[in-house]
Amino acid sequence: MKKLSLILCISLLLFSVQQATADDKPAAGPGFEIGAFGGYNMLLNNNDQIQSPTKGGIAFGAKAAFVMPVISAGLSVGYFPIYHANWSVASVSYDYTSYVVPIDAFAQLSLGPIYLLGGVGIYSLHSTISPTVTIANSTGSSSKFGYELGAGFTFGTAPVNFELGGLYQQITGNGNWNPSMFSILAGINFVFNM
């Protein structure tokens, strides 16, 4: 939460600077936007079954949205790593990796260069346990409901704009462990006005 507060404060400061130096520009009309994003994902809660994992990693994805001057709605898909850990049991080493692929429907409220985002979707959890000996790998996946909340700022004008923000994601209904993640993401969007 502290990081999200920091992002919001920085966004407000940049918004104030932008407003103080901005030329009067006409509001953009409705359009369509496609974009790509990437950044760093951090797992906020630990699965107690795994000792000393690497939590998170490089995240990336894409989105498409119908854009209005203040409100946008669209779909996004991404790749967000959750865990990577190595451990040994009875002289056999194991490599454990886990990641999530969310497919979210989202709505975005734009207040100048600042945006607030919320969405819901299906989160596909994937995990693999690979022993270092010739035992077969164990893989698994499950799809769960989840939601996302985010904030950030955009800069640039059509046909290209850039964004920087934070995204909180919560996966529900996964037994005793409901992963939550926070990501710092940067993106580029291509806007096509109608």
Cα separation values, 110 from 9, 66, 103, 133, Å: 16, 13, 22, 53
- Average pLDDT, rounded, for the chain: 80
> CB of 94 within 8 A of CB of 88?
yes
pLDDT band, residue 135 (cuts 50/70/90): low
Q: Domain for residue 6, yes or no? A: yes
Residue 58 has pLDDT above 70, yes or no: yes
Q: Domain for residue 36, yes or no? A: no
Structural domain including 177 reads 2-18+46-101+115-193
Question: How many domains are there within the chain?
Answer: 1
Q: Domain for residue 31, yes or no? A: no
Residue 167, pLDDT score:
94
pLDDT band, residue 24 (cuts 50/70/90): very low
pLDDT band, residue 180 (cuts 50/70/90): confident
Query: Which run of H or of E encompasses 6?
Result: helix 2-21
Q: Domain for residue 33, yes or no? A: no
Q: What is the mean pLDDT of residues 116-145?
A: 81
Q: What is the mean pLDDT of residues 65-73?
A: 91
Q: What is the mean pLDDT of residues 62-84?
A: 91
pLDDT band, residue 157 (cuts 50/70/90): confident
Residue 182, pLDDT score:
93
Q: Domain for residue 39, yes or no? A: no
Q: Domain for residue 135, yes or no? A: yes
Residue 61 belongs to domain with CATH number: 2.40.160
Q: Domain for residue 171, yes or no? A: yes
- For residues 35 and 187, give the distance between their C-alpha atoms in angstroms, rounded to a whole number: 7
Tokens 């800069």 — which residue? 155
- For residues 70 and 133, give the distance between their C-alpha atoms in angstroms, rounded to a whole number: 56
Q: Domain for residue 25, yes or no? A: no
Residue 4 has pLDDT above 80, yes or no: no
